[in-house]
Amino acid sequence: MDKPILQANSIYTKHLQEMVRFSTISTENDSATDWAPFEAFQSWMEQTYPLLHQNMERHIIGNGSLLFHWKAPHGRKSPVLLMAHQDVVPAGEETKWIYPPFSGQLAEGCIWGRGSIDCKAMLLFLLEAVEELFREGVRPCFDFYIALGHNEEVHASDDIKGSALTARYLRGRGISFGCLFDEGGKVDGSAKVSLGEKAMADIVLYADGQGGHASRPGKGTVLGRIGKAIAAIEANPMPYHLLPLVAAQLKADAVHRSGEKRKILSDPETYWTELCSMAQEDNQLDALLHTTFAVTMAKGSDRSNVIPSHAEATVNVRLLPGDTMEQVLHHLKNILPENVKVRVRNGDAFVAPVTPLDSAEYRLLKDVIRDVYGNDTVIVPSLLTGATDSRHYGCVCQNIFRFSGRYHTAGFGDAHRENERIPENVLPAGVAFFKTFLKRYQD
């Protein structure tokens, strides 16, 4: 078929506007979360999607995550899991917003507001698709679930993290999935489907010593030691290596390049040396080829004339699939000064398995993408350098598709920034994608 017709649906527009108006802001470990917007949002969902709620069991997981379950009378296929998250990040500096961040304002053909992209658009796609299927009398011959997390946007321990608790709940009941969908890829010239993602952890570098007055620094300070440690990390990155998934991603993406870059990306194994040189000038490519370190925070004294007795810096680590925290710590031990210590904070550094490129579920996904977005759509399997809730579900699913069904056009505003917004005319394609997939999976 041809590319989807970008024509707004007034019902989808209205519903996404209403979703955005719920300021469902999460906080680390749920410590300061205002639950009233979450409760109101969940009540709104029950009223707005009555057939979904009538036909699916609803479970509350943890402090605010939801799990819906359609129980097929005679389940003949492995279940499917559809994921999104209810929570959003804070609005930031509200004076920089053209329209109030929780107004859901429709203007310039877009729905404006925090969460309009991340992740309430995908949440809308899932709920509208399932509600419409039930309205049309479709009763899938397989079980499927919808998991809506409440604290995806923040660090949380596994005993509080909604996605971790949901995965544990499902695994404890012996449930495994043929495939699952979570946020990630989109259709933007090509369809980017993330079949793997990097794990995340925070490492703290710290040093202790004798503090004192800044007029008597001696041979240096503990903060100086941390500075040397930071310099060592940035001068000694983890080595590059090429994952099969990343090789497939580069080859698929080569069609959008020209000249020397196209030649290198089309055959990264042959032109490995040239690819590594390219990565030195391309942060995105660099992140695909190795485990990365980003020094993001540092702390010493609170006063300029006081030498601190303790200093530390936080390093955000993104682990390439196949790498382990043991390897990371061994690498750091070999390069850091002896008088600087390391501890791991936040993140279990668990890497979800990479989805096979040859699975039947992935072949079906590619067929549906072409059905919905056009036969000439180039499909790019990819590695996601960020982290999603789906990483917790590797214990119950091998085929993890980080693909939102979102058709990306001009007019979008960036997620997590002021003036986040999504064009209203892209919403129908996202709903159509999930409806089509569920129908085709049944066939």
**Strand, helix or coil at 186?**
strand
What pLDDT is stored for residue 2 in this prediction?
53
183 and 139 in a common domain: yes
Instruction: Note whether residue 1 is domain-resident.
Output: no
* pTM of this structure: 0.91
Reply yes or no on whether the pLDDT at 1 is more than 60: no
Instruction: Note whether residue 4 is domain-resident.
Output: no
257's tokens: 């390049």
78 and 122 in a common domain: yes
What pLDDT is stored for residue 125 in this prediction?
98
Which domain-ending residue is among 349, 374, 390?
Answer: 349
Instruction: Note whether residue 130 is domain-resident.
Output: yes
Q: What CATH number is associated with residue 431?
A: 3.40.630.10
Instruction: Note whether residue 370 is domain-resident.
Output: yes
Per-residue pLDDT tens digits for 85-110: 999 999 999 999 999 999 999 999 99
Per-residue pLDDT tens digits for 321-379: 999 999 999 999 999 999 999 999 876 556 678 999 999 999 999 999 999 999 999 99
What pLDDT is stored for residue 5 in this prediction?
63
Whole-angstrom Cα distance, residue 323 to residue 243?
Answer: 11
337 and 368 in a common domain: no
Lowest mean pLDDT, pick from 5-9, 83-87, 167-171, 303-307: 5-9
Burial 289-326 (b: 16+ CB within 10 A, else e): bbbbbebeeeebbeeeeebbeebbbbbbbbbbbebebe
Reply yes or no on whether the pLDDT at 4 is more than 70: no
Average pLDDT, the chain: 95
What pLDDT is stored for residue 189 in this prediction?
81
63 and 103 in a common domain: yes
75 and 166 in a common domain: yes
Helices and strands (H and E) in the chain: how many: 13, 17
What pLDDT is stored for residue 204 in this prediction?
97
What pLDDT is stored for residue 100 in this prediction?
98
What pLDDT is stored for residue 352 in this prediction?
75
CA angle 397, 405, 129 (to 5 degrees): 85
Instruction: Note whether residue 186 is domain-resident.
Output: yes
Reply yes or no on whether the pLDDT at 15 is more than 90: yes
Percentage, residues of the chain above pLDDT 70? 98
Which domain-ending residue is among 322, 349, 376?
Answer: 349
Instruction: Note whether residue 87 is domain-resident.
Output: yes
How many domains does the chain contain in total?
3
Domain interval for residue 266:
241-289
147 and 101 in a common domain: yes
Residue in this structure with the two tokens 């055959």, named with its chain if needed = 267
435 and 309 in a common domain: no
What pLDDT is stored for residue 207 in this prediction?
97
Which domain-ending residue is among 300, 318, 349?
Answer: 349
Q: What is the mean pLDDT of residues 45-57?
A: 98
Q: What CATH number is associated with residue 220?
A: 3.30.70.360
What pLDDT is stored for residue 424 in this prediction?
97
What pLDDT is stored for residue 411 in this prediction?
87
Whole-angstrom Cα distance, residue 279 to residue 284?
Answer: 8
Whole-angstrom Cα distance, residue 277 to residue 282?
Answer: 9
210 and 171 in a common domain: no
What pLDDT is stored for residue 135 in this prediction?
98
149 and 20 in a common domain: yes
Burial class, 16, CB count within 10 angstroms (exposed 0-12 / middle 13-18 / buried 19+): buried
**Strand, helix or coil at 118?**
coil
142 and 25 in a common domain: yes
